Structures are given as C-alpha cells and as structure tokens.
Amino acid sequence: MVKFRNLLFLILVGTTTVFANNELKIVDRSVHFGMRPETGRTIEAIIIHSVFNKSAGDKYSVKQILKQFRQYHVSSHYLISRNGKIFRLVKERDVSFQAGKSCLPDGQTSVNQCSIGIELVTTDDISDKPTDKQIKSLTSLVKNIQHRYTIKYILRHSDIAPERKTDPWNMDWEEFQKKLSDETRN
C-alpha cells in the first residue's frame, strides 16, 4: 500500500513538458495555491518579478521558492530558474496572485485579473543579477506570449507598485527591451 501511494504521488507530481511552439520548452509544475481558476479573462499585461529562497539553503532552489509561495498564498504563471528553465506554475487562462496592490499606467488596479506574471530566480544582492540564460528564456517566453495575446504593457513589478516593490532586482531593463524589439529570432 505504501509503495502504491508513493507511485501515485510520483505520478501526481511528475513534470510534463509543454511545448508552446517549436522552440520554447516549458516544464509544467502546476500549483494549486496563489491562484484562482478562471474562464475567458482578457490578458493585456505581462509583469516581470524576481524571487529567491529566503529560508536556509540554496537561495536559487525552485523547490524552496514554491514552498515560500505556498506559505504566502502567492504564485506566478511562470518561474525561470538560474539555468533558464521555464516552469509553468499556473495556466495562463487562470489568475495568479502575483501583482498585489498595484496599478497599470491606464489606472487599472485589478492587475492580477488581466496579467501574466513571470518570476526570475535571483537575489536582491547588488553582486547578483539574472543570468544570460534566464534573460534569453524570458525574451523567448515574452515574445511567445505577445504572439498569442494583444499585450499593452510589459512592466516590472516595481513599475506597478513603486511604493512597495523593487523587483526585478539588478535587471538591465533597457537591454531586455532592446532584445524584445529585435525582430530576429533568439
């Protein structure tokens, strides 16, 4: 019985690779916290965040970060690990609790309702920054999302909640925007 349970557990938590297109490889790590199932929402913003493990051990541990998310009842649609691997935590059609009290440039305050959140695993230490692999994956993912929805805003968490938030930390935003506007494929 114990063995059977273990097997069942493995099946339930096992990861599936989702191919958003021929080039973008996404690993399914669906969570059931920090989110709300939805149908037919309009997606018009992408919010970029950063996060790290604040408990003991590896600051970049995806497993620990997910534990942290569960503890605070938050999540994001995607999380990009240090080696550029993209994990999908919440389906795009569903709402993830990532933006908090925030406001888009047009005055909309229901940001979670209309956005997709992406987390980069990196610390707020000045000597740290997102890796090249992370930026490459982020650029591909954002371009892919832009192909599928009419995206009005691509913003940092600090852009929509400047009094509360400083993430994404140590990210070269101008360079990222340049990469996004580059029409050539990555």
Residues paired with 95 in a beta bridge: 36
Query: Least CB distance from residue 48 to Zn ion, whole Å?
Result: 8
Give the contact letters, 62-101, x = binds to Zn ion (CB under 5 A), - = no: ----------------------------------------
Window 122 to 181, contacts with Zn ion (CB under 5 A): 157, 167
Least Cβ distance, residue 90 to Zn ion (angstroms)? 15
Residue with smaller CB distance to Zn ion, 21 or 166: 166
Outline where DSSP puts E strands in the chain: 16-19, 25-28, 35-36, 45-51, 78-80, 86-88, 95-96, 115-121, 153-156
Tell me which stretch binds Zn ion (CB under 5 A): 6-14, 18-26, 41-49, 170-178.
41-49
In the bound complex, what is the minimum distance in angstroms from residue 17's beta carbon to Zn ion? 26
Tokens of 83: 């080696």
Is 119 annotated as catalytic?
Answer: yes
Active-site residue identified among 44, 92, 119, 175: 119
Amino acid at 44: E
In the bound complex, what is the minimum distance in angstroms from residue 125's beta carbon to Zn ion? 16
Is 153:46 a contact under the CB 8 Å cutoff? yes
Judged by beta carbon, residue 26 or residue 74, the one nearer Zn ion is 74
CA pair distance 109, 100, nearest whole angstrom: 9
Instruction: State which residue, 136 or 165, has the beta carbon closest to Zn ion.
Output: 165
End-to-end CA distance of the chain: 49
Nearest-angstrom CA–CA distance, 167 and 145: 21
Nearer residue to Zn ion within complex by CB, 145 or 160: 160
User: Rounded to whole angstroms, how far apart are CA atoms 79 and 98?
Assistant: 12
Rounded to whole angstroms, the Cα distance separating 186 from 177 reads 14
The mark string for 1-20 relative to Zn ion (x by CB under 5 A, - otherwise) is --------------------
Residues at the site binding Zn ion, with contacts judged by CB under 5 A: 49, 157, 167
Residues with catalytic annotation?
119
